[in-house]
Structure 1
Amino acid sequence: MSGVLYLIPNTLGDGDAAALDAVLPAPVRARAAALHYYIGENAKTTRAFLKKVGTERPIQEIEIRELNVNTPAGEIDKLLAPVLAGTDAGLVSEAGCPAVADPGALLVRRAHERGVKVVPFVGPSSILLALMASGLNGQSFAFHGYLPVDANERAKRLRDLEQQSRKGKQTQIFIETPYRNRALLDTLIATCAPSTLVCVAVDLTLQSETIVSRTVADWKKKPGLDLHKRPAIFLILAA
């Protein structure tokens, strides 16, 4: 009989055990502490997460294998092999919920194909938290990941997303590498229509959490917001 693949949420930023308690329910922490086989994007950060959780056995005795954007597709079965042999496993992301904007989705898909039970646990999702707090349309929305790096292509993509939003009354959600956050916001303000709503949610669940939602016209009047190297989610809704 195969084991179970548990999807273990992580925190959205640095923090101590007390911060972990604020975003992960006790049953999730208990299950995370009991597992002795983990699959994560980075072994070092996975160990740091387990140290905060508090494991039932020494961390050095817990097997951790990596699954990231550089993992060949042919390695997925090797990662799943212990689960097929009867070992329960935990899949953990660098931040937030595994398999959402995360390479772990490939493992989850393969688990279903092989008949492995998949159990998702409750935890923080920056995408949903930002949408909840934005005041934008939560009935219809789409997440697009990263936008193009090239300035012209990024502006074109934003115009396309704004058009989709206007046509379908749909909230468009995307992210950026923290050191390019300011450039993205500047492009949003310069590209989108004055009436388009723009929400920026920064450092969600952390002490420094900041969420600002206003029209492009209002952003132009008071654009000041410290985004430097801070994890952020961007949302737009065109009128």
Structure 2
Amino acid sequence: MHDSTSAKTGTLYIVATPIGNLEDITLRAIRILKEADYIAAEDTRHTKKLLNHLGIDTNLISYYREQEQQRAEQIVRFLEEGQDVAIVTDAGTPAISDPGTVVVRKARERGLKIVPIPGPSALTAALSCAGIEEKAIMFHGFAPAKKTQRKKLLQTLLHADYYAVFYESPHRIEGFLQDAIAALGDRQIFMARELTKNFEELQQTSLSELIVITSSRKSRGEHVLILAPADAVPSKEMDIDDLILWYRDHSSLSLKDSCKTLAADLGVSRSKLYKRALQLWSDDEGTGNL
């Protein structure tokens, strides 16, 4: 791919690959993987299956977390010699809770060219279908494996006013949920599991309900968990006036749609809710959009 007459150094391509469904790869990613001098893969056996599927026979080298420092130096040498290298992980976008950060940093320090080839990411896939309100989002990656460290991190979210996003493995999901409800109370959570795969599952629920669900079955596949801030969802213990005001202040729904939702959730008369909402919902905060 590299033309030694036009440049002295190669390019490091950060290539996103499918997180499940092999059709989720861009035409540009396929071209770069074909034209690169080397593909640096988190697991060469795993990546070989994708390359075989695409009919690509580019040279493969391993780039996995335990040897990230040494492999990064090797890749930088290739780049300085004029070779183009495409780095991939087993699934999704490199350097997003996956290997890739070290080589990117080293290449940047040496002034080498880095080009992102965007594509699949479990993070953006989950956020795109969570339907969360416009609010700040903090991505934490995988929570600490040690319980004490995990609990300490979760406690920092008690009064946070943003959505906290985590990745979690199937064998640690129950521990994470238990620690989350202990630290934060029973707040809302969106769970995306096995994204783009046969057993894809998306659930908007509460921490307590998700604990019941996960404890009653064997979880498979990695999870993306989006924890709502404390004020993002009304508590069932709130009285009706508080609930109406919560929807006025925190929801994008109109007064009419808010009353429809509340009536269905609480099993009460929609007309009575509507009359009370008219009294509480001031003209400048929504009655003009009935």
Distance 1:158 1:64, change over 3 A: same
What is the alpha-carbon distance in structure 2 between the residues aligned to residue 108 and residue 200 of structure 1? 30
Amino acid corresponding to residue 82 of structure 2 in structure 1: G
What is the alpha-carbon distance in structure 1 between the residues aligned to residue 12 and residue 144 of structure 2? 34
> Shift of residue 236 of structure 1?
0.6
Alpha carbons 1:162, 1:237 under 8 Å: kept: no
Aligned to 1:224: 213
What is the alpha-carbon distance in structure 2 between the residues aligned to residue 53 and residue 105 of structure 1? 26
SS in 1 for 2:30: helix
Aligned counterpart for 2:228 among listed residues 228, 231, 237: 237
Distance 1:204 1:138, change over 3 A: farther
Normalising by the residue count of structure 2, what TM-score does the alignment of the two structures yield?
Answer: 0.68
Amino acid corresponding to residue 163 of structure 2 in structure 1: T
What is the alpha-carbon distance in structure 1 between the residues aligned to residue 158 and residue 125 of structure 2? 21
Amino acid corresponding to residue 112 of structure 1 in structure 2: R
Alpha carbons 2:9, 2:81 under 8 Å: kept: yes
Aligned to 1:35: 36
Whichever of the two has the greater Rg, that structure is 2
In the alignment, does 2:206 pair up with 1:215? yes
What is the alpha-carbon distance in structure 2 between the residues aligned to residue 182 and residue 143 of structure 1? 20
Bigger relative contact order (CA 8 A; separation at least 6): 1
SS in 1 for 2:53: helix
What is the alpha-carbon distance in structure 2 between the residues aligned to residue 72 and residue 187 of structure 1? 31
Aligned counterpart for 1:173 among listed residues 165, 182, 189: 165
> Shift of residue 139 of structure 1?
4.2
TM alignment of 1:68-107, pairs within 5 A: 68-71=64-67, 73-107=69-103
Unaligned ranges ≥5, structure 2: 1-7, 232-290
Post-superposition Cα deviations, 1:140-181, rounded to whole Å, max 9, x if no partner, equal 211212223344543343222233x2xxx2111112222222
In the alignment, does 2:55 pair up with 1:54? yes
In the alignment, does 2:89 pair up with 1:64? no
Percent of matched pairs sharing the same residue: 24
Aligned to 1:20: 22
Amino acid corresponding to residue 116 of structure 1 in structure 2: L
In the alignment, does 2:117 pair up with 1:121? yes
Aligned to 2:195: 204
Post-superposition Cα deviations, 1:44-66, rounded to whole Å, max 9, x if no partner, equal 222222112221xxx3xx33222
SS in 1 for 2:79: helix
Amino acid corresponding to residue 188 of structure 2 in structure 1: L
Normalising by the residue count of structure 1, what TM-score does the alignment of the two structures yield?
Answer: 0.81
- Once the two structures are overlaid, the 10-residue window that deviates more, 35-44 or 224-233, is 224-233
Post-superposition Cα deviations, 1:91-140, rounded to whole Å, max 9, x if no partner, equal 00111001211221111122222222211112111111112222335542
SS in 2 for 1:106: helix
Aligned to 1:154: 150
Amino acid corresponding to residue 20 of structure 1 in structure 2: L
Unaligned ranges ≥5, structure 1: 14-18
Aligned counterpart for 1:110 among listed residues 106, 109, 112: 106
Aligned counterpart for 1:130 among listed residues 126, 131, 135: 126
What is the alpha-carbon distance in structure 2 between the residues aligned to residue 65 and residue 138 of structure 1? 42
SS in 1 for 2:67: coil
